[in-house]
Structure 1
């Protein structure tokens, strides 16, 4: 039973780490003017938030820890707000 739980936790952790990493790479690649155009936080602020989210995920690696959940929400907000604005 614990092998299944540990395996599931590992898969969730990898998926959340990939989402945070993807958001960080997208933020690095996106031009600063895009952030001004969609009236969101500046690029530098998003870079700091997302880099901290990835770093904290690497340090704790537990997908249900409070800091990882906050980082996941930040990455998902970035993806929905900034990257999602491309589809409008």
Structure 2
């Protein structure tokens, strides 16, 4: 039999897993970037972002259902925000500096 409690548990599980995937993705991307690109983009250093994202990923792992912190606790929300800031602010700036991003809006025949 399906109950509201089990539906909520499924939603919490899916959200926690999605948050954890975003955190891991941000950490892996950060580790793969050049250190000098962070400074050239005017962002925190690579070492600081790596520490922030490593802590965020650890919190995300511990926040998975059945983990130490429980699903979607306050710390996991803060950890997700840190990873989201990396994805929407730092990563595009790094791509512009390194020249390997989708920062241009060129179509097949030139700019739109």
TM-score by length of 2: 0.73
1:10 aligns with 2:13: yes
1:33 aligned residue: 36
Q: Which residue of 1 aligns with 2:86?
A: 78
Maintained 8 Å contact 2:16/2:63: no
When the two structures are aligned, how many residues end up with a matched partner? 87
Structure with more relative contact order (C-alpha pairs < 8 Å, separation 6 or more): 1
- Cα distance in structure 2, aligned partners of 1:45 and 1:84: 17
Deviations 1:6-62 (A, max 9, x none): 111101111000000000000000111110111000000000010001111212321
User: Match of 2:75?
Assistant: 67
The two structures have a TM-score, normalised by structure 1, of 0.92
Within 5 A, what are the aligned runs for 1:38-53?
38-53=41-56
Work out whether residues 60 and 76 of structure 2, in 8 Å CA contact, stay in contact via their aligned partners in 1: yes
Gaps of 5+ in 2: 65-70, 96-101, 104-112
1:80 deviation in Å? 1.1
Relative to total residues, which structure has the larger helix share, 1 or 2? 1
- Structure 1: runs of 5+ lacking an equivalent: none
